[in-house]
Amino acid sequence: MTNLALKDTVDTAADVTSPDLTPGPVGGPGAWRGPDMAASGVWIEHLTEGEIAEIDAAIRAHQANDLSMADIGPETFHLPTLGPRLKTLRDEVVNGRGFVLLRGFPVDRYSVTESAVGYLGLGSYIGGFRPSNAKGHLLGHVRDIGRNIKDPTTRYYQTNRGLEFHTDSVDIVGLLCLKTAKSGGASRIVSSVTLHDVIRERRPDLWRALFNAFPTDRRGEIPPGMKPWFDVPVFNWHAGHLTTMYVGQYIRSAQELFPEARRLTDLEIEAMDYLDTLCNDPKFYLSMDFLPGDIQLLHNHQILHSRTDYEDWPELENRRHLLRLWLAPDIGRPLPPVFEPRYGDLTPGDRGGIFTESTKLTFSLSAS
């Protein structure tokens, strides 16, 4: 298991501007457009019967050996054929197009606990587990639990509201679909590399503004000694990589909730609005409807993701339910120092996630 201790960091005020700008268009395999991806289908991978048999055997071995979820790792969850393939897919996510959809995980034959064990087993080949909320959940749940989004501690994944395009505070986010909604809830993703290159060409003034540090609301999940917001540029050029961090909803809520946070300029507000407009343009985003058993893996540093509103089933047992993993691979790219107040330790394999004074790391089977 990865060392999950968070190093002490000082939440100093970030410089308004990033010291480095991209020297030109970034391009590369991460600069894709949604319609091209939809037409190619190269991002959809299918589990084979042999690989599913390996998952079955590994779950049975886990149960027979009376292991806990904390014991799960490549050394205990043996996947002789699938394991190496997962490492290849991880490389595509981190160094290639930035995402993959792995289809065919047999949730219909598993209990929720068995699905969780199998999903954690697969995830352990991708990276170390990181907590996705202040409660310390290393296994997260995306489910409408009736929270009011007007509550400043509510996060959008706890509601049926649509999510604006954003990144999560970890290298890779994984979602396993257990149940789908009655209608809606489509996943949408967009290449932040493509958006950067388009903005740089069309509106260089707005492009430059997105390298400024934007105050971003922590939604009440505050590490010891830190402010209730953190300051980070949307676009960051570091060690030859364009790395993006953006949660527009929480940048705006920081302006509403924290008068001591730096006030955004008119140009920065226009830059955010323009970025949001491009994100929601069908020329750029890729839309996908999850099927039960689909596993989506996204590289937050080069992918923005969102979700449409959804209507759920009236029966509790049928309602939309995704299992979420936040993962830190040991092959992760170098991150700029400005990420430290949010990510903690910047060491690949041991960074990202949400830590507060009350955080207790756990693998929860409950969405609450």
* Angstrom distance (rounded) from CA 60 to CA 245: 39
Cβ-based neighbour number of residue 364 at 10 Å = 16
Asked if 81 and 159 touch (Cβ cutoff 8 Å), the reply is no
Report pLDDT for 17.
54
* Angstrom distance (rounded) from CA 284 to CA 69: 39
**pLDDT top residue among 212 and 11:** 212
Report pLDDT for 100.
98
How is the chain split among helix, strand and coil, in percent rounded to 5?
Answer: 30, 20, 50
The model's pLDDT over 144-188, given as tens digits with 9 standing for 90+, comes to 665 445 555 544 555 666 789 999 999 999 999 999 888 777 899
**DSSP conformation class of 327:** E
The model's pLDDT over 42-60, given as tens digits with 9 standing for 90+, comes to 999 999 999 999 999 999 9
Q: Which residues, at least 6 apart from 213, have a Cβ–Cβ distance to it below 8 Å? A: 14, 15, 16, 17, 18, 231, 232, 233, 262, 338
- The mean-pLDDT minimum among 88-102, 121-135, 251-265, 309-323 falls in 309-323
Report pLDDT for 311.
76
Kindly tell me if the per-residue pLDDT of 116 is higher than 70.
yes
pTM (predicted TM-score): 0.91
- Interior angle at CA 163, CA 157 and CA 166, nearest 5: 100
Kindly tell me if the per-residue pLDDT of 137 is higher than 80.
yes
Residue type, 289: D
Domains of the chain: 133-363 (3.60.130.10)
The model's pLDDT over 275-286, given as tens digits with 9 standing for 90+, comes to 999 999 999 999
